[in-house]
Chain A
């Protein structure tokens, strides 16, 4: 089976940096993705790590350590609009099947 664990809630203030962790247990590993979902909206893709290290995309970065079965999403220069749920997700196998999602982390950014 597969499971992805992440904290349920994180709070921060505008301009701050926040890190959302994700630990996973998977029968095989085919990379770790991150998605953002605003309340009532569709999930949108943020980033993907197939290999160890840091991937940077603007204010958002994602890190992966396969030896530790661990990854994180780093959000810098937080803005109010970043208040949303963030999900780590992993393909269930290599051949283009569906994603398995973590339970999601609700980020609340205050002024």
Chain B
């Protein structure tokens, strides 16, 4: 099956700094990737849809200037948390649709990045 990787797996940063998280599709091309965040013991909340070569589509309530998404190639999407604050501490997970499927019912998820802002 297809593999999605994320880097880094864990990151600790100081309040006010920026952090970049990479999401890569290793053996397939992903024109669309999705970014979710997940708080402990809670569900995955969609943050944005990342489209290769165009601007990301953000969900209501997600600050696009704070969570910068870039999808510069068919295998790489990045999420940059700018001016991070402790409340941004969370588990960030990316996913990509299975190639060839018209719907998004099956997605491949990356292993996630745990961000801790001190």
Among listed A16-24, A65-73, A74-82, A96-104, interface-contacting one: A96-104
| Majority secondary structure of chain A interface residues (helix, strand, loop or mixed) | loop
Which residue of B has the minimal Cβ distance to A34? B105
B70 cross-chain contacts in A, Cβ below 8 A: none
Instruction: Please state if A98 and B43 are interface contacts (CB–CB under 8 Å).
Output: no
B contact residues around A43 at 8 Å (CB): 44, 93, 95, 109
Given contacts A44-B109, A87-B44, whether A99 and B104 have CB atoms under 8 Å apart is yes
- Name A32's closest neighbour in chain B (CB-CB): B105
Asked if A60 is at the interface of the complex by the 8 Å CB criterion, the answer is no
Binding site for B on A (CB under 8 A): 30-31, 33, 40-45, 48, 50, 87, 89, 91, 94-104, 106
CB atoms of A98 and B49 under 8 A apart: yes
Q: CB-nearest residue of chain A relative to B106? A: A45
0/1 interface trace, chain B 102-117, chain A, CB 8 Å (1 if under): 1111111111101000
Number of A-B contacts (CB under 8 A): 64
Taking a contact as CB atoms under 8 Å apart, the answer to whether A97 and B104 are in contact is yes
Mind listing 16 A-B residue pairs with CB under 8 Å?
A31-B103, A33-B106, A40-B114, A41-B112, A44-B109, A91-B103, A96-B101, A98-B34, A99-B34, A99-B95, A99-B104, A99-B105, A101-B43, A101-B45, A104-B43, A106-B41
B54 at the interface (CB under 8 A from A): no
Return chain B residues, CB-CB under 8 Å to A87: 43-44
Which positions in B face A, CB cutoff 8 Å? 32, 34, 41-46, 49, 93, 95, 97, 101-112, 114
Asked if A98 meets B109 with Cβ closer than 8 Å, knowing A30-B103, A31-B103, A43-B93, the reply is no
What 4 A-B pairs come out closest when comparing CB atoms?
A: A42-B109, A98-B34, A103-B43, A33-B105
Measured between alpha carbons, how far is A96 from B102 in the docked complex, in Å?
Answer: 6
Chain A residues contacting B93 (CB-CB under 8 Å) are 42-43
List, in ascending order, chain B residues with CB within 8 A of A31's CB: 103, 105
B111 touches A42 (CB 8 A): yes
How far is A100 from B95 in the complex, measured between Cα atoms in Å? 13
Would you give the shortest CB distance from A6 to chain B, in whole angstroms? 10
